[in-house]
Amino acid sequence: MAFAIIGLAVLFFLGHALNWLFIKTKIPDLLILVIMGYLAGPVFGVLKADDFGKVGPILSTMALVVILYEGGLHLSARDLLRSSLPAFKIAIIGFLLIASCAFAIAFLIGFQPWHIALLLGIGLGSTSSAIVIPMVKPLSVKDDTKTILSLESAFTDVIIIVLFLVLTDSIASGVFSPKEVLVGIGPKPLLAILMGIGSGTLWAFLRRRFGPLVSMTFAGEAWALLSYGVFEASGYNGALGVLALGFTLANLDLLPDWLKNLLSREPVSVNELGILSEITFILRTFFFIYLGLLIQFSSLQIVLIAFALTAAIFATRYLAVRLLFSTKEWPRLDAM
């Protein structure tokens, strides 16, 4: 027990040290945390994913929810309107190029069955909102670039979740359903966003009507977790809904005056934002170390294929950006 407590304290200070290193050197702290998790787990055997039992997946999901909630709180409507179309374009083109390239490598070089190669390609086609949203904040790029990358990661998350689940069911049953793909990519994400907006509006109303009862610390995060659970249990994308929830709370000033009078003018205080940032930081640190613990390299061939996939993804990603964005409007650093 003593070593576990010491480990938690070290984790806190280590996370802050790596974040400072990221700000100074632009070396991603997330990558270092994953490597440390891999070294502590599969390499040296100090930790195992099984040590966390059922708590590990729950904490990792909590980390994802809080990361997305905080990311939504930092999205402005102005940036969203200006960046939605570019984000959608890079999401579609980037996903198609990366998924195709990953499929070709897994099928032709990795000698995997076509359905396994296809699932791998789809799985690698997303930039992952859990990684992108916290990573772009300290970068020295334009705010529009940060918003585009954040929105793109949310879009591609939806695409790969829908395609992956539909293709998995199709492979198992032998029947492919285009209707499920269209419903999953079209109406369902829109409904998840509307549910997130509704949840944010309801929370602002509760804060105004029952302020003393719901103004305690961590209440906003608890509401985000509750909303995520309800969205997922209803069969909708919880991640997209929570992102919309945070966005709604950050942009209540856009609502009509008659509605604003019914809602809290400050659903998230400056003090709560500071506390939320610390909670996000701790959960994020655990999340990426936990990911490192889950990594398993069973053969040298898999390692070589992983390096080939990484190089191909970087190349196709840069190609997609250059195809869609003018060098006159976007600096080289933003393009990279």
In this structure, are residues 199 and 245 in contact, taking their beta carbons and an 8 Å threshold? yes
In this structure, are residues 7 and 282 in contact, taking their beta carbons and an 8 Å threshold? no
Q: How many CA atoms lie within 13 A of 205 on its CB side?
A: 10
As a whole number of angstroms, the distance between CA 297 and CA 299 comes to 6
Nearest alpha carbon to residue 30 among 145, 128, 153: 128
Q: What is the pLDDT of residue 194?
A: 92
In this structure, are residues 125 and 99 in contact, taking their beta carbons and an 8 Å threshold? yes
As a whole number of angstroms, the distance between CA 245 and CA 203 comes to 9
Residue spans of the domains in the chain: they are 87-185+303-336
Q: What is the pLDDT of residue 175?
A: 65
pLDDT in tens, 1-37: 576 677 777 877 888 888 888 888 878 888 888 888 8
Q: What is the pLDDT of residue 281?
A: 79
Task: Give, in order, the Cα–Cα distances in Å from 232 to each of 129, 189, 273.
Answer: 17, 12, 25
Instruction: Give the residues of the chain that fall short of pLDDT 50.
Output: none
Q: What is the pLDDT of residue 231?
A: 94
Q: What is the pLDDT of residue 335?
A: 59
Q: What is the pLDDT of residue 230?
A: 95
Q: What is the pLDDT of residue 232?
A: 92
